[in-house]
Amino acid sequence: MSHLTNPLATPAQLYALNTLNSPLPPDLQNSIRFYTARLTQAAGLLLRLSQDIAAQANILLYRYWLVDPLLAWEFSDVSASVLYLTAKISASPRSLRSITNVYAYLLSPSSHLLPQPQTNPFATPPDPESYYLSETSYINFRNRLLNIEGQILNALGFNTHVALPHPLAITYLQTLDVFSSSAGKIVAKRTVEYLNTALLSPQMLYLTHQPNALATAAIYLSAREEGVKLPETEWWEVFDVEREELGFLVVGVMSLEGVVRKERERWEHVDGEGKAVGMITREMVREEMGRLGLNEGGGVGNGVVEEDEEAQMARLLDEKVAAVSA
């Protein structure tokens, strides 16, 4: 049955998270996890990857951050690396060029991850120049992704096995005879939606609970929402889930709506340069830490991201090409 279970985070790992990411406050850690997971999910959609690949990528992302600090690498780079890795070991690999192009768009001012107007969010067509990736920028991006991919594999001990609760949920629904009712398909759809929503939870529910418990909680919420009657007995025990665990997961999944609202209020605003914010960066987090009077070790944390030699050479070359073209 090992293929139906996942290696879970140990209490020691969860306890050490704040020490690992010191002095990053827990609320900023939650913001990083939420926005990076959302970015990974959006990239999977644009790359036309199946949901199971995007889901596995987010789980591996959270596992990696149990070992390495959140601020070790740029969040979007970690997202791109883990999605590239997960797709590569699946039946639907994607090229590095495709990965970098998609992330260049999602991180650009034209990205639909940005807060959109309430009237017509698609009234203004995206500007291709805003997400154009020059050859030197592509090479620099590609090299970063390959480097981080190695770091991720090393941190995970090359264990990339992920069992998802989605297939189990459908099997459980059949066992409970939910499809015999007129709302059976709706309940199944809502169950999958809840499971996908839980992937974005900064509580890392997929690292602390096995797929059978996650599937059971999603079914419970979906059936209650659609008014579908389930067995009056403690049916969840049949699927090896205790009442306390079920209650915790139900509360955790339901709380995500409040988490999303809080994160949007905190980050999705127009900054001082008049640019909308849709994905947070290390620079933004360090600026927030500076505002809170915190400072990352080694004198970092002043909101300035140091430019390495390779990035500087690429930037100077791009500037030279642009000057000649003009």
Question: Going by CATH, does the domain composed of 166-259 fall within 1.20.1050?
Answer: no
pLDDT in tens, 30-47: 999 999 999 999 999 999
**CATH code linked to domain 28-156:** 1.10.472.10
Could you report how far apart the first and last alpha carbons of the chain are, in Å? Answer: 63
Among residues of the chain, what percentage have pLDDT more than 90? 70
267: which 2 tokens?
């980050």
The reported pLDDT for the residue numbered 114 is 79
Model confidence at 305, pLDDT cuts 50, 70, 90, reads very low
The reported pLDDT for the residue numbered 116 is 60
Model confidence at 304, pLDDT cuts 50, 70, 90, reads very low
| 204 and 59 Cβ atoms separated by less than 8 Å | no
Per-domain boundaries in the chain: 28-156, 166-259, 281-325
Residue 221 pLDDT > 50: yes
Span 302-317, mean pLDDT? 50
Span 155-167, mean pLDDT? 96
The reported pLDDT for the residue numbered 38 is 95
pLDDT in tens, 257-300: 999 889 888 887 645 454 556 789 999 999 999 998 887 653 33
Higher pLDDT, 323 or 296: 296
| 199 and 37 Cβ atoms separated by less than 8 Å | yes
Separation between Cα atoms, residue 307 and residue 288, nearest integer Å: 20
